[in-house]
Structure 1
Amino acid sequence: MRHLPGPDTPFDRSPAGDQGLLPVELNRFVGRETELAEIGRALAGSRLVTVVGTGGIGKTRLALRAADGLKNGYADGVRLIALAPLRDPRLVVHALLEALHVTDHTSRPAREVLLERVRGLSALLVVDGFEHLVDGCAALVREVLCRAPGVAVLAVGRRPLRVDGEVVLPVGPLAGADAAVLFADRAAEVLPRWRPDAADRERVRELCRRLDGIPLALELAAARLPAIGLEELLHRLGDRFALLTSGARGVLPRHGTLRTAIGWSHELCTPAERLLWARLSVFAGPFDLEAAEYVCSGPELPESSVVDVLGGLVAQSVVHREETPAGRRYGMLDTLRAYGAGWLAALGDEERLRSRHRDWHLGLATWCELEWFSPRQAEVAAVADSSLPDLRAAMEWCLERPEEAHLGQFLAGTLWFSWVGCGRLAEGRYWLDRALGRAPGGARPYEDARLKALWVLGYVAVLQGDPAAAAAALHACEEGARAAGNAVAGAYAVHRRGCLALLSDEPAEAERLLRAALDAYDRAGELNSNVLMGRVELALALAFQGRPGDAVALCEQVREVCESFGEEWARAYALYVLAHAAWTAGDHPRARVLLSRCVAVDHRFHDLVGLVLALELLALVTASEGDAVEAAVLMGATAPVWESVGLARFGSRCFAVPRAQCEERTRAVLGAARYEECAAAGQALSLDAVVERALAACDRAPRRSRRAGGTRKPAGLPTGRGGEAAG
């Protein structure tokens, strides 16, 4: 079904140590020196600056260029929050959390988590495309600015936020000379051998005048040059101008001119290109060729022709193309998407296209869930990450229709690997709660979807430390599975009840439930990452009951199965148990090697639960090797991660043993004051720095213990805050 990049494709949703996470500029930025300086001055005096202007005027590109120039003034860098794809204002807070790489595994409201985590940040947030969510966005921005004195917001939209202290900077068209440079620059991209003479330069000036220096209009015009030439461009623009702006009373001239430029470009497209443009407007975010072929093809646009028609839209700058960790993706500016959506509505085809879009993403989620248990696990995570705006849109479409709510339940449940394995528990809880509130189940396919959503909700609630919600969802799932004769759903419910018992320090009860679930999986022929995690959880229950040999044997089996299927996520948890056994046996080098693999995998998938457990055990191994300073640094570094995960060590005495032993050892060696100094230094590290430090230490030979009370600063310790530890 899918053609994905090879196994070496990188996937890392963390900041990776950079200062901005801003999109890479694909072509030259032209002009706007005055506006850039104005933004810099405005941000020097205000923490909220809003760049406003019509669609296509270049305000987003301007804001991103300004932010890139200012990023060194913010210790935690710059983050882009793109809100244009969202339709539900309740998702704005999740978009901010995602952009800040804040992962929270608790059941606290996402807004509360955000406001708590931004409090100590020094960052510039670029909030783009908020106008359709202005009320909710304005309220959230106001709260963020009140709670976080080190945060500044550069908002980009078609209207102000109207928040106290806001400085509004209108963006107008490019000046004549800059407009001509922009057009010539973009023309050179499509006609590398073009050398304009004096007559051409005069035509360029005339075209820039007619298009009012609007960057999007100029870029659309330049993209037509290979087909019709500069003189014909001017002629056709003159033919269309009056027609396309008539009847728009009270519209600002540059709004009419932009519509003229887009409409004129639309008129110059072939009928197939116009049709594809309209149909592509159903995508909320980046899409690949296969998605476009499935969703947009039909009798008037055969699937085999979509690639050529899409290429035509790329050539005309209606659609842009980029290479991503998930492979080649296409997208449209929001202005162009909105124009296409208007045509789709006029064609009366919106509902059919949205339904095809939903069907594609149901299939995509199903494929991802299956491929999660394979060597393509990291690539699947990248695909799901790239497709998140459209997966959200598909769930929204389902939940808007009572007769399709079961499809929303199925989609929210099928994405368990993204919610749990890739650090999106809070958003997963949001969609699962919404989906389960819409439909009661009924016929077998409907009931199966409801049961899946229930056990996934139970799983999420367990990891969030919400035992009451978890128990209620799992009980409902188990009762429903029994009534429907769905043995697999019943097994998942029992499995997650066992996980809840494990985190509640009831290892004997956890063992009973987990064995029952695993027996049911075996009878049903069920084998996937969830099943393997059940075996790891059983191993932990055995270890907590003083049976380490049985735990090791079980995890060795899990590791073998994982390696045969190319599964990494569950394997990392098995390696954690094996590392603990190696430390217990005094084999510190082996424990360190196993933990380095855990840390690398958990960080790649942004699984903070696995990562923080591995880091705490690594700290204990480091202390056992005699390096009390480094152990204390690692201990300090885990504190902010636990804040994101939720209740430290799940409130469990069993899971708290490594930390308690490490802290006792290091305090005895260093003394209380030195220990606190080292732990504070670790707490100031960013998550990337912690992981880099942990992995680098695994490549070095153990160092001798440093003497207690020493005054030498430990090598590599930071002197200031390097970013939020939760990434």
Structure 2
Amino acid sequence: MTETVERTSYVGRRGELDAVRALLAAAPLVTLTGPGGVGKTRLAARVAETEPDVVWVSLAELRDPQLLPDTVAVALGLVDRQARTRTEIVVDHLRDRTLLLVLDNCEHLVEACARFADEVLAACPGVRLLTTSRQSLGMAGERVFPVPPLAVPDPDDPGIADNDAVRLFADRATAVVPDFAVTAANAADVARACAALDGLPLAIELAAVRLRSLSVRQLADRLGHRLALLTRGRHRVSVRHGSFQAVLDWSHDLCGPEERLLWARASVFVGGFDLAAAEEVCSGDGLDRADVLDVVDGLIDKSILLREEHRGAVRYRMLETVREYGEDRLRAADDLDRRRRLHRDWCLDLVARYQAEWMGARQPAWIERMRVEHPNLRAALDFCTADRDEAATGLRMACDLRYHWFVVGFEEGRLWCRRLVALVDPSVPERITAGWLDALLALMQGSRDAYLATIDAVDAEAVSDLDRANVLQVRGLKALVDNEADAADLLAAASARFQAAGDRPGELWAQHNLGLALGLRGEVDRAREVLHRARDGYAAMGEVFWQSWTLFNVAATEFLFGDPAAGVDAARAGLRLQHRVGNKILTGFLLSMIAGCTTALGDHARGARLLGAATAAMRRIGVYAIEYAAFTPRLRAAMEDAARGLGKDARDRAFASGAALSTAEAIDYALADTDGGAPAAHPDRDGPLTAREAEIARMVAKGMTNQQVASALGIARRTVETHVQHILGKLDLANRTQIATWVATHG
């Protein structure tokens, strides 16, 4: 859930809450409609608070309808490791679940949301959909609830202080004037102000900020004057829009020239920005770079910008209606295209730095940074697809984000590569890179037909040593996954070409896969040598992502052909590393290797329980087996060994008990020396927190709200709130920011 929902207290709407809950009890699809600023998102959030299982998907930052299913899949924690559409993956995951799925801000994606909702509701009887939009989805069976403005008070009503609009005004007023109160002396003026704003909650909030410098009477007089000018000669139907326009215009007029420029120019950011980004994109032509910080402070003071902290770094954003107003001003000034290009250039520079520093000690920080900036990256790539003259730049960016697509989704990476390749001249060299990258991502998805068509085409065009090395690497990976005889030869050839080209990351990438291929060919001693050399190379760079995969390859080789005790050690080392980059797929794979090796060592009960935990961890993200062809029969054999050692019923009970563990609990169990022993060294166990508390602390440190944590973990929001209170108490901390600092300090 977006931080917008929780940044201030919620006032009123008791009748609306009851009405929406009644509609959800009677129909699987309810849409909250109304103009911007009427409070649709807040009402949806309030409804969701009492639901036992909620997944919240914010669509305000999404511009491409094709990426809607991907966005939902990410919110559900799913990965695209299957040769199916993302909608199919989401539907399959939700088929047997009972939950409330909230799609917030659908108005610019109405058709895509309607198609998606139709497919989900047709196949998933336990799913209810709550959407917010300025217009309905237009679907059969949809229940539409127009969210009304807050009822405006009668100035002569003796109970005026209990009116929802007045309560909201007073609540926001005390944030800027702590001793403000509704009294007999000012009640009529408060009522006039609320009536002038037509009861629109966001307009009331923005207007209440003005009490820093105006009395309530002055505020009401000025609002009445502005609204009269705006609506003179108009029909009453436009007054509500005019009320909101009036308060936005007034907020804009009260800004200084530099604040107006920054408001408009910052509208090109999607999903937020930091100070350095604002200085780069928004300065110049009337706004000095050195003054940007002071101007940002001014816009925060006027409630135009919202300040948030993410892992100790401060970011800023605007509510969508406020951002749209700024964008309109930027368009009117004929500066929109130029600022979007500057925004694209800022993203391009960010991606170049990410690419240059990926294979280093800052890798975990870069992974997290690019996750946060993903909406901005999407916007920059979208800008490049809108103009053929910009497409080559966009293609370079998409190719430099090759590792990012392994984190956020293979299908999205393929989508951008295909779109941009279709727009560029055949002479653009990045076409070859995009070709083998598209083939690689298709292979990782399991889309074999797409892989074959793409790799054959790029193979025919590749000329440079580096291009040939990457084509060989991708072909070698396919052979490795399918346990084909030529895997080792292809990967060895790729490694040699990378080395000749001076590409050390490419060489290590080929080497760590070559090691497993050698193991599958029966050359276990040579496999160990190659794998340990690759791991040492990654460790020397401070790299974590591929080093963790190398440890999986070590464990897999030992599981299949070597020393299972060494396999357990390698897989545990991989688990300890991977938490720094949050690789959920690798977690399941490593747990499977520990399970297999443990069974091979004769501990059948523990092995069966670990395999149950591994299977559950993978299914939570939409993965149902390790894709490597060599492993499925060996893991099945391990389960059969456990059945022979324990008896089938006991084996099944152990498997079921493991499947009941959360992923965090499964990791703790896998890192414990024995069923009853203390856990081995593990980052979650440093300090006084339980595994679940540590998991939630890390999510809080990422800037996630309680509702987002609850949705990600599949638990109630109130449970998360209790955990957060326990964390604060155990660590003697006062707020969420201090939790983030504690997490950063303790790894």
Taking structure 1 as the reference length, the TM-score comes to: 0.86
Q: Is the 8 A contact 1:423 1:607 kept in 2?
A: no
Q: Is the 8 A contact 1:281 1:341 kept in 2?
A: yes
Name 2:106's counterpart in structure 1. Answer: 130
Q: Counterpart amino acid of 2:47?
A: A
Give the counterpart of 2:473 among 468, 485, 495. 495
Q: Counterpart amino acid of 2:487?
A: A
Name 2:695's counterpart in structure 1. Answer: none
Listed as ranges, the gaps of 5+ residues in structure 1 are 1-19, 705-715, 717-721
**Superposition pairs for residues 587-602 of structure 1, below 5 Å?**
591-602=567-578
* Farther off after superposition, 200-209 or 292-301: 200-209
- What is the distance in 2 between the residues matched to 1:402 and 1:696? 54
Residue 26 in structure 1 maps to residue 7 in structure 2: yes
Residue 354 in structure 1 maps to residue 354 in structure 2: no
Q: Counterpart amino acid of 2:150?
A: L
Residue 579 in structure 1 maps to residue 555 in structure 2: yes
* Farther off after superposition, 102-111 or 232-241: 232-241
Name 1:121's counterpart in structure 2. Answer: 97
Give the counterpart of 2:495 among 513, 518, 527. 518
* Farther off after superposition, 145-154 or 98-107: 98-107
C-alpha change, 1:460 and 1:585, in structure 2 (3 Å) is closer
Give the counterpart of 1:634 among 593, 610, 616. 610
- What is the distance in 2 between the residues matched to 1:326 and 1:578? 36
Give the counterpart of 1:68 among 30, 46, 49. 49
User: How far off is 1:471 after superposition?
Assistant: 3.7
Deviation sequence 1:463-483 (CA, Å, 0-9, x none): 12233432443344344331x
Name 1:534's counterpart in structure 2. Answer: 510
2:316 is paired with a residue of what secondary structure?
Answer: strand
Q: Is the 8 A contact 2:371 2:408 kept in 1?
A: no
- What is the distance in 2 between the residues matched to 1:593 and 1:27? 48
User: How far off is 1:678 after superposition?
Assistant: 4.3
Q: Counterpart amino acid of 2:668?
A: L
Q: Is the 8 A contact 1:79 1:126 kept in 2?
A: yes
User: How far off is 1:85 after superposition?
Assistant: 2.0
Q: Is the 8 A contact 1:293 1:306 kept in 2?
A: yes
Name 2:299's counterpart in structure 1. Answer: 313
1:168 is paired with a residue of what secondary structure?
Answer: strand
Give the counterpart of 2:252 among 257, 261, 266. 266
C-alpha change, 1:361 and 1:249, in structure 2 (3 Å) is farther
- What is the distance in 2 between the residues matched to 1:726 and 1:533? 35
Name 2:401's counterpart in structure 1. Answer: 415
Q: Counterpart amino acid of 2:541?
A: F
Residue 425 in structure 1 maps to residue 406 in structure 2: no
Give the counterpart of 1:207 among 186, 193, 199. 193
C-alpha change, 1:22 and 1:275, in structure 2 (3 Å) is closer
Give the counterpart of 1:435 among 391, 397, 420. 420
* Farther off after superposition, 347-356 or 586-595: 586-595
User: How far off is 1:496 after superposition?
Assistant: 1.4
1:153 is paired with a residue of what secondary structure?
Answer: strand
C-alpha change, 1:237 and 1:620, in structure 2 (3 Å) is same
Name 2:16's counterpart in structure 1. Answer: 35
Q: Is the 8 A contact 2:473 2:494 kept in 1?
A: yes
Corresponding residue pairs, total: 673
Name 1:385's counterpart in structure 2. Answer: 371
* Farther off after superposition, 31-40 or 470-479: 470-479
Name 1:97's counterpart in structure 2. Answer: 73
Q: Counterpart amino acid of 1:114?
A: V
User: How far off is 1:391 after superposition?
Assistant: 1.3
Deviation sequence 1:95-146 (CA, Å, 0-9, x none): 1111111112123222222222211121111111111211221121122111
Q: Is the 8 A contact 1:467 1:500 kept in 2?
A: no
Q: Counterpart amino acid of 2:259?
A: E
- What is the distance in 1 between the residues matched to 2:349 and 2:424? 21
User: How far off is 1:223 after superposition?
Assistant: 2.0
User: How far off is 1:619 after superposition?
Assistant: 0.9
1:435 is paired with a residue of what secondary structure?
Answer: helix
- What is the distance in 2 between the residues matched to 1:412 and 1:138? 29
Q: Counterpart amino acid of 1:523?
A: A
* Farther off after superposition, 300-309 or 188-197: 188-197
2:6 is paired with a residue of what secondary structure?
Answer: coil
Name 1:7's counterpart in structure 2. Answer: none
- What is the distance in 1 between the residues matched to 2:714 and 2:462? 37
- What is the distance in 2 between the residues matched to 1:458 and 1:676? 40
Q: Is the 8 A contact 2:669 2:675 kept in 1?
A: no
- What is the distance in 2 between the residues matched to 1:225 and 1:534? 64
Q: Counterpart amino acid of 2:597?
A: V
Give the counterpart of 1:112 among 66, 82, 88. 88
Q: Counterpart amino acid of 2:63?
A: R
Give the counterpart of 1:369 among 336, 339, 355. 355
C-alpha change, 1:726 and 1:25, in structure 2 (3 Å) is closer
Deviation sequence 1:43-63 (CA, Å, 0-9, x none): 222221211111101110111
- What is the distance in 1 between the residues matched to 2:312 and 2:646? 47
Give the counterpart of 2:663 among 664, 667, 690. 690
**Superposition pairs for residues 255-294 of structure 1, below 5 Å?**
255-294=241-280
- What is the distance in 2 between the residues matched to 1:522 and 1:301? 49
User: How far off is 1:603 after superposition?
Assistant: 5.5
1:375 is paired with a residue of what secondary structure?
Answer: coil
Name 1:9's counterpart in structure 2. Answer: none
C-alpha change, 1:429 and 1:676, in structure 2 (3 Å) is farther
- What is the distance in 2 between the residues matched to 1:251 and 1:24? 28
Q: Is the 8 A contact 2:54 2:714 kept in 1?
A: no
User: How far off is 1:372 after superposition?
Assistant: 2.1
C-alpha change, 1:246 and 1:280, in structure 2 (3 Å) is farther
* Farther off after superposition, 591-600 or 23-32: 591-600
Q: Counterpart amino acid of 1:500?
A: K
2:131 is paired with a residue of what secondary structure?
Answer: strand
Deviation sequence 1:311-337 (CA, Å, 0-9, x none): 211111111111124832211111111
2:268 is paired with a residue of what secondary structure?
Answer: coil
Give the counterpart of 2:647 among 663, 671, 680. 671
User: How far off is 1:695 after superposition?
Assistant: 2.5
User: How far off is 1:41 after superposition?
Assistant: 1.9
- What is the distance in 2 between the residues matched to 1:151 and 1:600? 36
- What is the distance in 2 between the residues matched to 1:684 and 1:671? 20
Deviation sequence 1:188-211 (CA, Å, 0-9, x none): 222335566643444323212211
**Superposition pairs for residues 536-555 of structure 1, below 5 Å?**
536-555=512-531
Name 2:731's counterpart in structure 1. Answer: none
Q: Counterpart amino acid of 2:497?
A: A
User: How far off is 1:540 after superposition?
Assistant: 0.5
Listed as ranges, the gaps of 5+ residues in structure 2 are 154-162, 678-690, 692-709, 716-747
- What is the distance in 2 between the residues matched to 1:312 and 1:189? 16
C-alpha change, 1:201 and 1:250, in structure 2 (3 Å) is closer
Deviation sequence 1:529-549 (CA, Å, 0-9, x none): x54232110111111122222
Q: Is the 8 A contact 2:55 2:712 kept in 1?
A: no
Name 2:450's counterpart in structure 1. Answer: 469
**Superposition pairs for residues 150-229 of structure 1, below 5 Å?**
150-175=126-151, 176=153, 177-194=163-180, 198-229=184-215
1:79 is paired with a residue of what secondary structure?
Answer: strand
Q: Counterpart amino acid of 2:32?
A: V
Q: Counterpart amino acid of 1:695?
A: D
User: How far off is 1:160 after superposition?
Assistant: 1.7
Q: Counterpart amino acid of 1:426?
A: E
- What is the distance in 1 between the residues matched to 2:665 and 2:466? 41
Q: Is the 8 A contact 1:245 1:259 kept in 2?
A: no
- What is the distance in 1 between the residues matched to 2:348 and 2:6? 33
Q: Is the 8 A contact 1:103 1:726 kept in 2?
A: no
1:505 is paired with a residue of what secondary structure?
Answer: coil
